[in-house]
Amino acid sequence: MEMVKIISYELIVPSEKTPKNPLWLSNLDITARKGYTTTVYFYRSNKNTSLDFSVESLKLSLAKTLVPFYLLAGRLGTDKNGRMQINCTGEGVLFVVAHSDATLEDIDSFVPTNETRNLFVPLTPQPDIPLMLQVTVFKCGGIALGTALHHIFADGRSAFHFFETWANIARGEVNCIEQPWLDRTLLRARLDPKGMFDPLEYISDPKPIISSSISTSYASSIIKISKKHITLLKLHCGDTDGAHVSVFRAITALIWRCICMARTLDTNSKSRLYTMIDMRSRMCPPLPPTYFGNAAIRTSVSAVVGDIISGSINHVAKRIHEATSQGDDYARSLIDSLETIDMEKLPRSGLPASDLRVISWLGMPMYKADFGLGEPILLSPAMMHYSGYVYLMDSPGKDAGVSIVIALEPENMLAFKELLFKELAALEV
């Protein structure tokens, strides 16, 4: 990939006066990863729109979008008790314009790495800005939109809501704007806490992971699974009575098995799968669909490696189901429990070489970010955080299946791919 040349930096502020009251953060916000979620959208050139107008219209529409999403123009701060909050200062978001001598044909081999993140996404400034954007113009007229959104401000569903809204405003479709729900007190801990417990995923390990057991380097890949193979996989993961199995659980079960085999883990050892559950529709009453913040909870499940490898894929999918079926009682108890934990000392590092983390973006409005150039032809995380990290996301286009975006130890990636394709091929027998 050719080097990217930065043309300009600019802070975009809301186009109208916005509220200045600070916004309270829930325990789920404060315990979110203290860093940015980075993505890159790629678009083909629109010959009917001049390039300069496109970039300028993005700035103008962004300023309008920051009116309802004014918290993103603020900064992280603390209240009088030292609790983290969002100070709605209206200082703005970072907007970078860059040029590249490359063409969109060069992104055919795109994979998320630290290097690609540095090319297409602005680097973290001081002080931290919650939202940073970079528009890179290619020689062919195509465009890359790189984004970095601080995780404490929003989870994945909230992030895609923002980008969809921005795109709608950019196209002039203001009648279909869904206002964000910014009141996070819906997830406040109860005055009379119940079901207190020590959630494994939110406490520091009393026996810290030895640094040598964490892979500091990774190879990354984007692997597409067809709808045909997804259907066959769900059938193999289903019960004999035809019980429904979600796409997430079916694909994750297969990934878990193939990773254990690729890593040649001891069959008597244990492997742990970490993931997140969006609780918006599972709370009682449900949260507003446009709740803007972190409404996903961490969960995990462990299993003996031998059972994962040799047992039925149905059994693995059932174990995942057990860990991802939590409802209101669990979420409320978790939020209560976080009141008793020092949230500044939560584990936020990588994973031991036996474990993996799978994040689902399935079913999210990822490809509705049409700024007048059509839907993105490719959307991907810009980088991966560490080995064992996996994203599941819908592939672009109708009936396109699912894309697995995975980071794995370089020495194990080839074996993982071969095992995955072998397992998929066996489904057709």
151 given a catalytic annotation:
yes
> What distance lies between CA 180 and its chain's CA centroid?
19
Measured between alpha carbons, how far is 320 from 261 in angstroms, rounded to an integer? 18
The residues with which 301 forms a beta bridge, in sequence order, are: 273
Is 393 in contact with 405 (CB distance < 8 Å)?
A: yes
Measured between alpha carbons, how far is 202 from 250 in angstroms, rounded to an integer? 26
Strand, coil or helix: what is 20?
coil
Is 231 in contact with 291 (CB distance < 8 Å)?
A: no
Q: Helices (DSSP H) in 9-150: which residue ranges? A: 27-30, 51-65, 114-120
Directed axis angle between helix 247-262 and helix 227-237, to 10°? 90
Is 362 in contact with 402 (CB distance < 8 Å)?
A: yes
Is 116 in contact with 220 (CB distance < 8 Å)?
A: no
- Which of 151, 236, 315, 321 is an active site residue? 151
Measured between alpha carbons, how far is 395 from 378 in angstroms, rounded to an integer? 8
Instruction: List the one residue out of 5, 32, 324, 250 whose CA is nearest residue 136.
Output: 5
Which two tokens mark 72?
Answer: 């993103």
Q: How does 133-170 read in b/e, with b if 16+ C-beta sit within 10 Å?
A: bbbbbbeebbbbbbbbbbbbbbbbbbbbbbbbbbbbbb
Is 287 in contact with 280 (CB distance < 8 Å)?
A: yes
The residues with which 189 forms a beta bridge, in sequence order, are: none
370 given a catalytic annotation:
yes
Is 275 in contact with 324 (CB distance < 8 Å)?
A: yes
Please report, as a single letter, which amino acid is at residue 256: W
195: CB partners within 8 A, 6+ apart: 329, 330, 332, 333, 336, 337
Residues with a catalytic annotation lie at: 151, 370
